[in-house]
């Protein structure tokens, strides 16, 4: 924490009188962005006196390439694989994690360590959820149920992307989690996954932004949905929506902080990343939205949601009761297959339009 304070004081001195905007932090909008603002952005702004603006994007390295320089992006919240892609393309500032955080802090990160261009900040899960009103008797309990439209009829809210749904398609075919990415690296595996998607093609309702899945369940456009655990929690626990989460088959990933290569405030950006990577900040985030901290020492600090009083540890993706069948998102596979996945997915979409 002393390291962060020295960085923050340095940046505050450089900033002088508060400008209209000293730092731009880019995130995903909605409940997640609101939680980040309360847990990380507001405390940083208060401590440094800086004006911090939050901007929403779609989470891709492509958006960073198109918008980052012209819109003055500084710090970006990214998926690990997108950060790898952006780093390889020179879109991110290279970091010195030890100088930024210290050797003791580096040893505290799990399940992923800081890298050349990114610092882990939270652990999230892509999960299945359903509208409790739609199934008054037997409830969905496993990924296979998502593909069973006879027993569990209704629309399926799915991101218009191959991300996550290909893994679930193979899982529903009985492929063990440990073999998923190996099989998806083959033509046979991709054909098998898309053939499984064919079974629900006519029931899919596509979504593009991460707040849509819960909305689609609430308004009846879908009875089951793919989405992020924190968004469903916010809709159900804070918004009172009749939504329940199925943890079977959850795909666990790591979100990171990165700094745009075109930033005009590198010192302020580093100071923000250092503060937002502290155990205290990670715990504050987990209390507001159930994304697990990326540092081990943060777990003991996690308490209750400040609005509802709900103890939050039980809702985290890595809570013991949620680990029966889980898949860790392979960031390297995602980074290396980006173009292939997009091409095969588009070809599958085109087949449905013929």
- Residue 16, judged by CB atoms within 10 A of its CB (0-12, 13-18, 19+), counts as exposed
- CA–CA separation, 102 and 92 (whole Å): 21
Torsion of CA 21, 48, 61, 70, to 10 degrees: 20
pLDDT at 316 over 70: yes
Question: Residue 14: its pLDDT value, please?
Answer: 43
State mean pLDDT over 220-242.
95
Q: Are 131 and 243 in contact (CB under 8 A)?
A: yes
pLDDT at 336 over 90: yes
pLDDT at 56 over 60: yes
Question: Residue 62: its pLDDT value, please?
Answer: 95
- Residue 72, judged by CB atoms within 10 A of its CB (0-12, 13-18, 19+), counts as middle
> Using one digit for the tens of pLDDT, what is the confidence trace for 178-200?
999 999 999 999 999 999 999 99
pTM to 2 decimal places: 0.86
CA torsion sign for 153, 250, 197, 173 is negative
pLDDT band at 32 (very low <50, low <70, confident <90, very high): very high
DSSP 150: T
What DSSP element (H or E) covers 87? helix 80-88
Q: How much is the mean pLDDT over the chain? A: 93
Q: Which residues of 271-297 are buried (b: 16+ CB within 10 A; e: fewer)?
A: bbbbbbbbbbbbbbbbbbbbbbbbbeb
- Alpha-carbon distances, residue 309 vs 43, 55, 140, 305, 322 (angstroms): 21, 29, 28, 5, 21
Which residues make beta-bridge pairs with 304? 311
pLDDT at 9 over 50: no
pLDDT at 3 over 60: no
Question: Residue 68: its pLDDT value, please?
Answer: 97
Question: Residue 13: its pLDDT value, please?
Answer: 43
pLDDT at 15 over 70: no
Among 234, 338, 276, smallest CA distance to 27 is for 276
CA torsion sign for 243, 244, 249, 254 is positive
State mean pLDDT over 86-92.
97
Between strands 156-159 and 224-228, the pairing is: parallel
> Using one digit for the tens of pLDDT, what is the confidence trace for 259-296?
999 999 999 999 999 999 999 999 999 999 999 999 99
Domains of the chain, each with CATH number or no CATH? 2-123+254-301 (3.40.190.10), 124-253+328-353 (3.40.190.10)
Tokens (6 digits) for 119: 């610092």
Question: Residue 294: its pLDDT value, please?
Answer: 96
State mean pLDDT over 2-31.
64
State mean pLDDT over 321-350.
92
């Amino acid at each position: 924490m002393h390291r962060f304070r020295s960085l923050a004081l340095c940046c505050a001195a450089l900033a002088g009188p508060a400008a209209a905007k000293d730092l731009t932090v880019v995130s995903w909008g909605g409940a997640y962005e609101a939680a980040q603002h309360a847990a990380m952005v507001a405390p940083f702004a208060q401590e440094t006196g800086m004006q911090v603006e939050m901007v929403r994007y779609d989470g891709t390295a492509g958006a960073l390439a198109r918008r980052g320089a012209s819109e003055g992006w500084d710090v970006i919240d990214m998926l690990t694989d997108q950060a790898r892609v952006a780093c390889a393309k020179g879109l991110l500032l290279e970091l010195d994690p030890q100088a930024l955080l210290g050797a003791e802090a580096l040893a505290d990160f799990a399940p992923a360590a800081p890298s050349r261009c990114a610092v882990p900040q939270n652990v999230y899960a892509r999960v299945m959820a359903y509208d409790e009103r739609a199934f008054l008797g037997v409830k969905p309990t496993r990924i296979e149920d998502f593909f069973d439209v006879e027993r569990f009829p209704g629309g399926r809210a799915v991101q218009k992307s191959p991300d996550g749904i290909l893994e679930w398609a193979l899982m529903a075919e009985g492929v063990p989690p440990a073999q998923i990415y190996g099989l998806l690296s083959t033509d046979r595996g991709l054909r098998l996954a898309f053939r499984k998607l064919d079974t629900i093609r006519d029931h899919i309702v596509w979504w593009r932004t991460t707040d849509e899945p819960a909305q689609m369940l609430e308004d009846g456009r879908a009875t089951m949905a793919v989405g992020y655990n924190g968004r469903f929690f916010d809709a159900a626990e804070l918004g009172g929506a009749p939504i329940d989460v199925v943890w079977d088959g959850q795909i666990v990933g790591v979100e990171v902080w990165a700094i745009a290569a075109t930033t005009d405030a590198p010192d302020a950006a580093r100071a923000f990343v250092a503060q937002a990577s502290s155990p205290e900040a990670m715990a504050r985030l987990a209390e507001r939205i159930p994304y697990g901290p990326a540092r081990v020492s943060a777990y003991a600090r996690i308490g209750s949601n400040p609005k509802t009083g709900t103890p939050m540890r039980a809702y985290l993706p890595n809570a013991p009761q949620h680990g029966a069948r889980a898949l860790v998102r392979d960031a390297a596979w995602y980074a290396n297959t980006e173009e292939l996945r997009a091409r095969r997915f588009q070809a599958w979409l085109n087949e449905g339009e013929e």
